Amino acid sequence: MRILITGADGFLGRSLLKLLAEAGDCELLLAQDVREVPTERRLAGVVYEKQDVRDASLVHALQLHRIDTVVHLASIVTPGRGSSRELEYSVDVLGSKNVLQACVAAGVRHLLVSSSGAAYGYHADNPDWISEEQALRGNESFAYSHHKRLVEEMLADYRVRHPELKQTVFRIGTILGERVDNQITALFEKKRLLAIRGSASPFVFIWDEDVCAAFAHALRTGQAGLFNVAGDGALPLREIAARLGKPVLDLPAGLLQFALAVGSKLGISRYGPEQLDFLRFRPVLLNKRLKEELGFVPGKSSAEAFEAFVAARAAQGRKISR
């Protein structure tokens, strides 16, 4: 395989590059990122290029390096304070559109995409366990969720119009790992965990090494399809609190919605009232197809991934449990 990875200097990209480089069974590994990758982070045997996924020159790189396989990871997962909805749309959606167009124009055979369980959306009528047949209803109020839905709609259109481009799409659950820091892990570091009265708020976790191993497995087997990528089982928020030995701040939905609205309006909170649904209607991903059709079994369950995350924090001197 001659593989190009977009977003290669992101958290997931670095781990996947390391795994593939160590395996040594690729003819070419081309790592592209919008930033120049520092010399000390570069791996032997990997070709590095600075490339914006929105730039039309992407197709020339595919042709020049005779790329036959693209792993598309570039996305804005945790926006910085200077970010905007317009910027996030341009990277997530327009960047993905450019990747699709470039792959078709350059004759790429296999495209692997990191989507998200967020594409299903955060809705009160979500089933207890969501399979890949569930409609994608990513909420417009959440940029990441909405953009993942829009990207998947484009992918579905290309599967019909360009069946020669084989697609493997991973709808990934909440990723945990030794070095993961995001708005989810920040919730667990609070002195008290915020819960919404009447909502279990279950989380499905997947260990970062399992995500990379799933990509490597799909690359080796060439298996196409749509797959939820999550560990077995789910952890309700109150069980997470119990495992951490922390109390739960149990608030009525109406009160929390009002507090978020006021905080957002006054500029003292970066989150608005829409975050209420993000907490109480979390999509719980069923991984049956991942195991039975793709033939990949995650090494850690949701509970084991969470315990490994807590242990890693403690080893780093950042203990989050009592």
Distances (CA, A) of 268 to 262, 263, 264: 9, 5, 6
What is the distance between the alpha carbons of residues 158 and 308, in angstroms, rounded to a whole number?
Answer: 39
pLDDT number for residue 270: 63
What is the distance between the alpha carbons of residues 30 and 242, in angstroms, rounded to a whole number?
Answer: 44
What is the distance between the alpha carbons of residues 297 and 300, in angstroms, rounded to a whole number?
Answer: 9
pLDDT number for residue 78: 83
CA 268 to chain centre: 28
Q: Which two tokens stand for residue 292?
A: 């039975």
- For 76-111, write each residue's pLDDT tens digit: 988 887 889 999 999 999 999 999 999 999 999 999
How many CB atoms are closer than 10 A to CB 229?
Answer: 27
How many CB atoms are closer than 10 A to CB 242?
Answer: 14
* 117: nearest Cα among 237, 21, 202: 202
What is the distance between the alpha carbons of residues 294 and 305, in angstroms, rounded to a whole number?
Answer: 21
CB within 8 Å of 218: residues ≥ 6 apart? 112, 168, 170, 294, 296
How many CB atoms are closer than 10 A to CB 107?
Answer: 13
What is the distance between the alpha carbons of residues 43 and 39, in angstroms, rounded to a whole number?
Answer: 9
What is the distance between the alpha carbons of residues 292 and 120, in angstroms, rounded to a whole number?
Answer: 21
Contact present, 119 and 145 (Cβ < 8 Å): yes
Q: Which two tokens stand for residue 122?
A: 């955060």
pLDDT number for residue 267: 73
pLDDT number for residue 269: 66
Q: What are the φ and ψ backbone dihedral angles of 245, each rounded to 5 degrees?
A: 70, 35
pLDDT number for residue 242: 96
Helices (H), the chain: 11-23, 58-64, 85-89, 95-106, 143-161, 183-188, 208-221, 237-244, 253-266, 275-280, 288-289, 302-315
Per-residue pLDDT of the chain (322 residues; tens, 9 = 90+): 999 999 999 999 999 999 999 999 999 999 999 999 999 999 999 999 999 999 999 999 999 999 999 999 999 988 887 889 999 999 999 999 999 999 999 999 999 999 999 999 999 999 999 999 999 999 998 999 999 999 999 999 999 999 999 999 999 999 999 999 988 999 899 999 989 999 999 999 999 999 999 999 999 999 999 999 999 999 999 999 999 999 999 989 888 888 877 877 777 666 677 778 888 999 999 999 999 999 999 999 999 999 999 999 999 999 999 8
User: Which residue in the block uniquely carries the two structure tokens 């995409």?
Assistant: 113
Q: Which two tokens stand for residue 97?
A: 């559109």
pLDDT number for residue 194: 87
What is the distance between the alpha carbons of residues 115 and 99, in angstroms, rounded to a whole number?
Answer: 14
Question: Helix, strand, or coil here: 70?
Answer: strand
pLDDT number for residue 4: 98
* 34: nearest Cα among 2, 9, 61, 59: 9
Tell me the chain's radius of gyration from C-alpha atoms. 20
Q: Which domains are assigned to the chain?
A: 2-176+206-231+284-299 (3.40.50.720)
* 215: nearest Cα among 311, 72, 78, 107: 72
